Every structure is written in structure tokens, then in C-alpha cells.
């Protein structure tokens, strides 16, 4: 944040950096890698192919939770984003003026790059196999929706192009709600965030339309309400530990006693893990885990690059080995996960950060008095 920004009193926690929270973002991104690993076993078919993960996934019995529930990391990302946005923007008196420039600089360059790369790779895959790989809405409508990250706002037929970016699309709407409500959030951060989160998640559980958008906004403001509770002093280290443990026990109970428990289990487990990570961060008064900051910065690159890497590997394997059964070997799984992580770090250093600086320099030329980075 720019040093010239005036901080509003009572809206910033004393702890400046939540290093373990950053590290948890990296681990969550890796969870998504394992959930999407099943893509390697989908042959050139249209929708509806079911992969028996327990049969084909390497080291399944050791890593079953990651293979079966890695998708829940998306909800965790949303909750973390709500907490981080509250920490960064509530006390920043200049936040509303530079909010969207900071979001554009952070998200769009890599999104646009991977969108184009996936479009090219999907064209190659379709030309060879007569169908697309995993995501089949590869048309102009969905490409144009994807450009401004609007591809999952309710106008889509299904996921398209770089499919994992759907969660970023819904998060843009959570950002918009946060930006619009920011003045009111400063007056009542806990109450308002809790109301918005509760209303949207209740609508989701009751079957309202546009469920992905409602879920994202609900988790996002749930994370912001956790920040508000910490500002009020209601969630200190002991209470965070107690809350986290209670939520995980509740998640276990729901999983064993509800008929269709997945959404409720995900909700309880998400905020249980978030509470325990925050408790560990508060315990780290000496900032010993500051390595978490650069590790967490790579999570966005890992998340956006892993599908284009997977598609490129499928094309390579099909052209050389001729069978995707190679993906059943632990060595191949470790190669894919390791490659995705390395590309995520490289992307953050050599693509995302330079692109951010370029966006800010361009904005500085256009609006020289309003472009201090956040």
C-alpha cells in the first residue's frame, strides 16, 4: 500500500502480515491440482464421462482426501479473499479510488494470457480428436464473456476455455459488492459482512438461481465477517482455536449424519480451517513464517496455469506415448504437480509482477494523481 494513504482508526488489526494464511493459499492451490488430476483420464468424448478416481489415481489411498475433496479449496480461496480485502481496504482512506486498478493489474494480465493459450491448445486438440478437452464451450460467445472475466455470471452454457477461471469470474462480483458496500462496512464491518454472507449463503442453500455467484459472495463476506469479529476482539487466539475445532467437529458430524452433506460440510470445514490458520498466525508473533508471503503469491499462477499445462501434457502424451495410462504412475503425478508449482513461481516473478508494474505505469500516464498501487 502507498505510504501516503491515511489509515482510518479502529479498522486495521495490529498484525500486519498473516504469513500462514498466505502459505495456506499455496496449499489450497495444490489441492485443486489433485482434484483436476482426473482430467488426464478423460478420453476424447463430450460431457458425462465419469472417472473412477479410486482406481486410476496414483497413490490414491494415501492422498484420497486431496483427490476427492480438492475442489473445496475454491471456497477456501473465497473466504481468505474476504478476510484479506477487509484487512487491506477497510482502513485505507483511498481504497475506493484505486481499488479497481489494483484488481485489473493483479488479475487480468495472466488471465488474458492463459485464456489465449488455452484457446490455441484447444483448437489443436479439437483438430486432432474432433472434440474439446474437458471444457466444451469453445465459441466466440464464451471467449467474449471470458475477456472481462464475466464467463460465469449466469449467461454461460457451461465452463469454457481455461475452466478454473470460473471462480475468478464469480469473485469479481464479490469484489464489486465489497467496493459498493465499503463505506457502510467501515461503520459496521462485522454486522454488515455477517448479514451479507448469511443472506447469500441461505439463498444458495435454498436453491436460488446463480448458485456459484451466491456461494462466492457468501464465503467472501464470511471471511470479511471473521475479520470484523477480530477487530471487535471477539476472536482472539484461544477463541479462534476453539471455533476452528468446533467447526471441524461439526463438519465431521454433518458428513456422517446428513443425507447430502457436501455443501454444509464444505462451509463448516472452510471456516474451521480458516480459524485455525488465523490462530496459528496470531501465535507467530516473531514473524517466523514470513516465507509464507512469497509462497502464497505463487498460488494465483498455479491456479491459472495448471489447466493449460495439463492440456499441453495431454497433447504431448497422445502424440508420443500414445496412451494416457502413464498418468497412473506416481512419478507422472509428481512431475505434473511439481511443474505446476514451478510455473506458478516463475509466472509470479516474470509475468505477473512485471505486468502489474506495466499496468500501473500506463495508468500513471493517463491519471497521474490517482494511481498509487494498493
Residue-wise pLDDT for 3-54, tens only, equals 455 789 999 999 989 999 999 999 999 999 999 999 999 999 988 789 999 9
pLDDT (0 to 100) of residue 257: 85
Whether pLDDT at 1 is above 50: no
Whether pLDDT at 300 is above 60: yes
Whether pLDDT at 354 is above 70: yes
pTM for this structure?
Answer: 0.95
Mean pLDDT of 170-195: 98
Whether pLDDT at 361 is above 50: yes
Residue-wise pLDDT for 200-259, tens only, equals 999 999 989 889 999 999 999 999 999 999 999 999 999 999 999 999 999 999 999 887
Report the alpha-carbon distance of residue 343 to residue 30 in Å, rounded.
Answer: 13
Mean pLDDT of 68-77: 97
Q: Is residue 9 part of a domain?
A: no
H-state helical runs in the chain: 19-36, 53-56, 60-69, 73-89, 95-129, 140-146, 166-187, 189-205, 211-231, 237-257, 262-283, 292-297, 299-320, 330-347, 353-366
pLDDT (0 to 100) of residue 2: 41
Name residue, grid cell 458425462.
48
Query: How many domains does the chain fold into?
Result: 1
Q: Is residue 243 part of a domain?
A: yes
Residue-wise pLDDT for 315-345, tens only, equals 999 999 989 999 999 999 999 999 999 999 9
Q: Is residue 65 part of a domain?
A: yes
Domain that holds residue 327: 19-366
Q: What angle (nearest 5°) sits at the alpha carbon of residue 107, between those of residues 101 and 112? A: 115
pLDDT (0 to 100) of residue 370: 54
Q: Is residue 161 part of a domain?
A: yes
Mean pLDDT of 152-167: 95
Whether pLDDT at 372 is above 70: no
Q: Is residue 6 part of a domain?
A: no
Percent of the chain's residues with pLDDT above 90? 88
H-state helical runs in 258-298: 262-283, 292-297
CB 47 within 8 A of CB 136: yes
Q: Is residue 1 part of a domain?
A: no
Closest CA to 177 of 268, 87, 85: 85
Q: Is residue 100 part of a domain?
A: yes
pLDDT (0 to 100) of residue 260: 79
Q: Is residue 10 part of a domain?
A: no
pLDDT (0 to 100) of residue 261: 85
pLDDT (0 to 100) of residue 241: 98
Mean pLDDT in the chain?
Answer: 94
pLDDT (0 to 100) of residue 371: 52
Report the alpha-carbon distance of residue 338 to residue 30 in Å, rounded.
Answer: 10
Amino acid at each position: 500500500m502507498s505510504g501516503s494513504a491515511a489509515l482510518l482508526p479502529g479498522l486495521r488489526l495490529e498484525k500486519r502480515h498473516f504469513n500462514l494464511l498466505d502459505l495456506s493459499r499455496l496449499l489450497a492451490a495444490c489441492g485443486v491440482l489433485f482434484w483436476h488430476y482426473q482430467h488426464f483420464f478423460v478420453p476424447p468424448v463430450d460431457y458425462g464421462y465419469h472417472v473412477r478416481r479410486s482406481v486410476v489415481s496414483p497413490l490414491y489411498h494415501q492422498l484420497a482426501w486431496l483427490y476427492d475433496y480438492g475442489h473445496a479449496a475454491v471456497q477456501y480461496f473465497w473466504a481468505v479473499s474476504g478476510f484479506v480485502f477487509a484487512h487491506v481496504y477497510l482502513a485505507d482512506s483511498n481504497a475506493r479510488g484505486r481499488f479497481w486498478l489494483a484488481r485489473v493489474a493483479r488479475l487480468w494480465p495472466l488471465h488474458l494470457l492463459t485464456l489465449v493459450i488455452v484457446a490455441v491448445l484447444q483448437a489443436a486438440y479439437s483438430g486432432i480428436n474432433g472434440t474439446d478437452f474437458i471444457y466444451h464451450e469453445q465459441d466466440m460467445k464464451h471467449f467474449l464473456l471470458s475477456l472481462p472475466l464475466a464467463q460465469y455470471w449466469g449467461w454461460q452454457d457451461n465452463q469454457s476455455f481455461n475452466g478454473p477461471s470460473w471462480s475468478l469470474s464469480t469473485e469479481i462480483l464479490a469484489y464489486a459488492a465489497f467496493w459498493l458496500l465499503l463505506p457502510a462496512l467501515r461503520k459496521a464491518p462485522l454486522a454488515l459482512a455477517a448479514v451479507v454472507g448469511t443472506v447469500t449463503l441461505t439463498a444458495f442453500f435454498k436453491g436460488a438461481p446463480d448458485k456459484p455467484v451466491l456461494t462466492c459472495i457468501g464465503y467472501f463476506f464470511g471471511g470479511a465477517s471473521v475479520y470484523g469479529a477480530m477487530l471487535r476482539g471477539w476472536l482472539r487466539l484461544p477463541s479462534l482455536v476453539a471455533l476452528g475445532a468446533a467447526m471441524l467437529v461439526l463438519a465431521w458430524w454433518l458428513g456422517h449424519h446428513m443425507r447430502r452433506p457436501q455443501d454444509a460440510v464444505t462451509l463448516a470445514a472452510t471456516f474451521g480451517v480458516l480459524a485455525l490458520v488465523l490462530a496459528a498466525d496470531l501465535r507467530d508473533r516473531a514473524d517466523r513464517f514470513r516465507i509464507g508471503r512469497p509462497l502464497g503469491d505463487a498460488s494465483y499462477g498455479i491456479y491459472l496455469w495448471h489447466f493449460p499445462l495439463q492440456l499441453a501434457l495431454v497433447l504431448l502424451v497422445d502424440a508420443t506415448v500414445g496412451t494416457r495410462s502413464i498418468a497412473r504412475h506416481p512419478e507422472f503425478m509428481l512431475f505434473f504437480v511439481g511443474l505446476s508449482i514451478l510455473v506458478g513461481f516463475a509466472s509470479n516473478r516474470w509475468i505477473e509482477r512485471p505486468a502489474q508494474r506495466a499496468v500501473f505505469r500506463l495508468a500513471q500516464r493517463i491519471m497521474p494523481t490517482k494511481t498509487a498501487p494498493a
